[in-house]
Amino acid sequence: MMKKGELMRRLFFLIVVIILLFALLAERVGIIPGEIDVGSEEGEEKSEVDEADNGQGFRLGSEVLMDEERHLVEDKKVGLVTNQSGMNSLGESTIELLQEAEGITLAALYAPEHGIDGTARAGEYVESYTHEDFAIPVYSLYGKTRMPTEEMLSEVDILVYDIQDIGARTYTYISTLNYCMVAAEEYDLPLVVLDRPNPLGGLIVDGPVLEKRFKSFVGVDTMPMAHGMTVAELSRYFNRNIGAELIVVPMEGYDRSMIFQDTGLSWVQTSPNIPDLEAVFGYMVTGLGEGTGVYQADMFRWIGGKDLDAEDYAALLNDAGLEGAEFIPEERDEAGGVRLKIIDYHSFNPARTGLYALAYAFELGDFNVPKSNDTIVMFDKIMGTDKMGKYLEEGLSPQVIEERFEPAIQSFKEKRQDYLLPQYGSCEGG
């Protein structure tokens, strides 16, 4: 019969073996307390959150294409709609990446307003030509035509769009996107949109909503001045009336609450007067007074007009409760105005601020509203309506004008829900 001491020693040895085996098993399957297996679903989710919090894990649609969705363009002749803003996070051009990629044929380039290098002046006619390094056509979509013709598309199997937008309805790169979609549908080509961030974020939806009568190349669809959508989301919205074979490549690590500064990307000048983010955020504030005598200067950093009292103008704007900005009185020759100083880019609303800036200029100064008749004047094309001009002539306050526009804005917000990419999060607040 086994002695009691021997029995205790064997029992102790058995317990130690069990503990060691359990520890070894726990280490292998990743259930040691305080750690999460990065290969598990929970671990992957935590990793993604951590990367986003650290400003990492963000990828542009162009980067997702080249890393994971290359099959969309492999063994195809690609027509690329782009310009100098088509860069990835490493500063590499989508043009060069596609040109150098094995199994992909870059067959043609299509350039929007300002040309493939973004240096042509606003409204300047741009010629088509042959690329000097790649010996492929560079077709201008701001010259003889603004829509790709059948001949321009005859040598491509698929169109790819990769251009940085600035979040304003009047910026013509999204009009080029719309026109390319129409051409793609007409000539039976798929069109791939490589998504990029809306630099203003996806929560600001504000300003006059375009009415169908006022559609033009500076207002291609019925939406507010600030639409709050990425280019991929815009393409989905446009496609409700087009029916193109549309493929969108979303970004990764993007949330619609993010503004451009949150992405970690460097801004690439999109056009001659938009060299930096100050210009992007100032565009809708200072650039709306076409033909009225209220004008912008210094790349959308200043707004004013002849004989306007700069001090009074600044006082009205500073007392209006416009979040995220200060207005510094500044005279330029015979014109009085204000310099826009953005102090909080996240709370700043460019479209709302622009409405106030224009309305207060009319309240203080002697300015005229251009009138549309058989021909739509540029002021109404930019506004997307003739109501703004009428409200200014009636001397309505910006607060009342806001109230008048609000029902159409709310209607658009409801309509756009069907076209937002769900992976970008909720649009609460916009």
Q: Check: CB of residue 387 under 8 Å from CB of residue 216.
A: no
- Same-domain check for residues 319 and 216: no
Higher pLDDT, 163 or 44: 163
- Same-domain check for residues 182 and 317: no
Q: Which of 299, 293, 301, 360 has its CA nearest to residue 325?
A: 301
Band of pLDDT at residue 427, cut at 50, 70 and 90: confident
* CA trace torsion 425, 194, 176, 165 (10° rounding): 50
The C-alpha angle 345, 203, 246, rounded to 5 degrees, equals: 120
- Same-domain check for residues 381 and 357: yes
Percent of the chain past pLDDT 90, that is, above it, reads: 86
Render 178-219 in DSSP notation, one character per residue.
Answer: HHHHHHHHHTT--EEEE----TT-SS--EEEEPPGGG-BTTB
pLDDT value for 229: 98
Query: Considering the domain boundaries, does residue 383 fall inside one?
Result: yes
Q: Check: CB of residue 151 under 8 Å from CB of residue 139.
A: no
Mean pLDDT calculated for residue range 224-236: 98
Structural domain total, the chain: 2
- Same-domain check for residues 109 and 210: yes
Percent of the chain past pLDDT 70, that is, above it, reads: 87
Q: What integer best gives the mean pLDDT of the chain?
A: 90
- Same-domain check for residues 128 and 153: yes
- Same-domain check for residues 263 and 283: no
Q: Check: CB of residue 424 under 8 Å from CB of residue 256.
A: yes
Query: Considering the domain boundaries, does residue 226 fall inside one?
Result: yes
Mean pLDDT calculated for residue range 245-252: 98
> Beta partners for 295?
304
- Same-domain check for residues 138 and 210: yes
Query: Considering the domain boundaries, does residue 95 fall inside one?
Result: yes
Q: Which of 139, 196, 189 has its CA nearest to residue 162?
A: 196
Q: Tens of pLDDT along 35-53?
A: 222 222 333 333 333 333 4
Band of pLDDT at residue 25, cut at 50, 70 and 90: very low
- Same-domain check for residues 155 and 197: yes
State how far the Cα of 18 lies from the Cα of 334, in Å rounded to an integer: 90
The DSSP code for 266 is P
- Same-domain check for residues 264 and 281: no
Q: For residue 241, what is the domain's CATH number?
A: 3.40.50.12170
Is pLDDT above 90 for 224?
yes
Is the whole model's pTM more than 0.85, yes or no? yes
pLDDT value for 52: 36
- Same-domain check for residues 172 and 78: yes
- Same-domain check for residues 259 and 114: yes
- Same-domain check for residues 370 and 240: no
pLDDT value for 17: 47
Query: Considering the domain boundaries, does residue 13 fall inside one?
Result: no
Query: Considering the domain boundaries, does residue 2 fall inside one?
Result: no
Query: Considering the domain boundaries, does residue 165 fall inside one?
Result: yes
Sequence-separated (6 or more) residues with CB below 8 Å from residue 336: 304, 305, 307, 308, 309, 310, 313, 329
Is pLDDT above 50 for 378?
yes
Is pLDDT above 60 for 389?
yes
pLDDT value for 9: 58
pLDDT value for 283: 98
Q: How many CA atoms lie within 13 A of 388 on its CB side?
A: 31
Sequence-separated (6 or more) residues with CB below 8 Å from residue 231: 161, 163, 165, 174, 177, 193, 195, 196
State how far the Cα of 256 lies from the Cα of 198, in Å rounded to an integer: 8
Lowest model confidence (mean pLDDT) among 22-31, 184-193, 228-237: 22-31
State how far the Cα of 89 lies from the Cα of 251, in Å rounded to an integer: 12
Query: Considering the domain boundaries, does residue 286 fall inside one?
Result: yes
Residue 85 CA: distances (Å) to CA of 41, 155, 257, 339: 36, 24, 22, 27
Query: Considering the domain boundaries, does residue 15 fall inside one?
Result: no
Q: For residue 320, what is the domain's CATH number?
A: 3.90.1150.140
Q: Tens of pLDDT along 271-328?
A: 999 999 999 999 999 999 999 999 999 999 999 999 999 999 999 999 999 999 999 9
353: containing domain: 277-406
Determine what percent of the chain falls in helix, strand and coil, rounding each to the nearest 5: 35, 15, 45
